[in-house]
Amino acid sequence: MDKNLDSQIRVALFQWLGERSARNGGVFTWKELTTGFVFGGNVITLIGQTGIWFPKGWAMPVSITTSFKGPYPDTFKDGILSYRYRGKDPNHRDNKGMREAFKTRTPLIYFEASASGRYAAVWPVYIIADNPAALCITAEVGMPSAAYDAYEETESPLAREYSRREVDVRIHQKVFRDRVLTAYKSQCTLCGLRHEELLDAAHILPDKDPDGKPEVPNGLSLCKIHHVSYDKKIIGISPDYEVKVSEKVMKEKDGPMLTYGLQAMEGRKLILPNRDCDHPNRDKLKRRWDEFLKHAI
């Protein structure tokens, strides 16, 4: 494919991903990724049966994917991805395609499966190191900040367009949100609101806590008002899954939102996931509950 055409398609593709992410939280279905992006009247597939994906007629991949419960031990941390080659042959066509993307500084998309048929996306991803002996590459989300000392003088128009863009590298949080909302059937565990665009995956224990891992038992599906209320200790949740509203708020009088949105939650039981393994961890809830009790009066 002509280099300029390749660049034009990738620019349009990144814009398409951004527009869709504003609506879906950055998590895409298999159907979206195989039928949704159209350029010049042609459907361009963004994902396929192999983790290193080449649309028809492309010499370099458009994306690399970590499959759900897949065989390769890929790791993604702090915006740095360690991604395994396909198989054990460094010269396999897929591995050579990644090597070419490294040499030409061509941006890719990284997908991580949050469940079967659902993928969290981050982009642009640049390969910053190729290690055939170890059968892996290293990639960085966003323009590599320190990988190329002289890059500012030699960068391509495509790279310039995206090098200063702020990219959300917290792909694990996208995966976390998708898994939590799926477990709770996309409804608020307090009030039952089902508008997914108004739902968050709230952490029981925060990221910075050693036990605050982005796992479903450390999460709650909360609408935005109840998420903020939980974080601000206006609402507490006991280890027995019972909701408590702070005494100060219970005494206030300030219209229907306060009455029905907060005060009416007093004494409610959480709407729990079907699977016991997805229920909120009681020990984690206890730690948050104890904090709430200190501020509840």
* Boundary residue ending a domain (122, 141, 169): 169
Are both 202 and 164 inside the same structural domain?
no
Which position has the token pair 């398409």? 16
Same domain flag for 30 and 151: yes
Kindly state whether residues 205 and 161 are assigned to the same domain.
Answer: no
Closest by CA position to 281, among listed 234, 215, 189, 195: 215
The parent domain of residue 206 ranges over: 175-295
Which H/E stretch holds residue 160? helix 157-163
What confidence score (pLDDT) does residue 156 get?
A: 57
The residue type found at 277 is C
Q: Residue 27 class from Cβ within 10 Å (0-12 exposed, 13-18 middle, 19+ buried)? A: buried
> Are residue 206 and residue 79 in the same domain, yes or no?
no
Same domain for 163 and 239? Answer: no
108-115 and 118-131 beta bridge pairing: antiparallel
Position 178 scores a pLDDT of: 93
Residues 13 and 149 reside in one and the same domain: yes
Q: What is the pLDDT along the chain (297 residues), one digit of tens a residue?
A: 788 899 999 999 999 999 999 888 889 999 999 999 999 999 999 999 999 999 998 999 999 999 877 677 788 877 788 999 999 999 999 999 999 999 999 999 999 999 889 999 988 899 999 999 999 999 988 755 544 443 444 455 555 444 434 443 357 788 899 999 999 999 999 999 999 999 999 999 998 899 998 899 999 999 999 999 999 999 999 999 999 999 999 999 988 989 999 999 999 999 999 999 999 999 999 999 999 998 876
Give the burial class of 147: count Cβ atoms within 10 A of its Cβ; 0-12 exposed, 13-18 middle, 19 or more buried.
middle
235-237/243-245 β-pairing: antiparallel
Q: Which two tokens stand for residue 149?
A: 């000392």
- Looking at residue 264, its pLDDT comes to 96
146 and 88 in a single domain? The answer is yes
Token pair of 137 as six digits: 């590459």
Same domain, 155 and 11: yes
Q: Are strands 80-84 and 136-141 parallel, antiparallel or unpaired?
A: antiparallel
Q: Looking at this protein, which amino acid is placed at residue 96?
A: K
- pLDDT for 143: 59
The token pair at 158 is 């495509």
Bridge-based pairing state of the strands 108-115 and 63-66: parallel
Distance CA 275, CA 279 (A): 7
pLDDT score, position 162: 46
Are 158 and 191 within one domain?
no
Q: How far apart are CA 183 and CA 279, in angstroms?
A: 9
Identify the pLDDT of residue 146.
45
Tell me: do 160 and 180 sit in the same domain.
no
Identity of the amino acid at 64: I
- Which of 137, 169, 201 is the last residue in one of the domains? 169
Of 147, 169, 191, the last residue of a domain is 169
Provide, for the chain, the percentages of residues in helix, strand and coil under a 3-state DSSP scheme, each rounded to the nearest 5: 40, 25, 40
Here the tokens at position 291 are 């904090």
The answer to whether 139 and 125 are in contact (CB under 8 A) is yes
Verify that 195 and 226 share a domain, yes or no. yes
**Residue 78 belongs to a domain with what CATH number?**
2.30.280
Structure token digits, residue 34: 């195989």
d(CA 164, CA 66): 26
Residue 50 backbone phi and psi in degrees, to 5: -110, 150
Number of domains in the chain: 2
Residue 245 bridge partners (DSSP): 235
- Decide: residue 145, CB within 10 A, 0-12 exposed, 13-18 middle, 19+ buried: exposed
Pair (242, 287) in one structural domain? yes
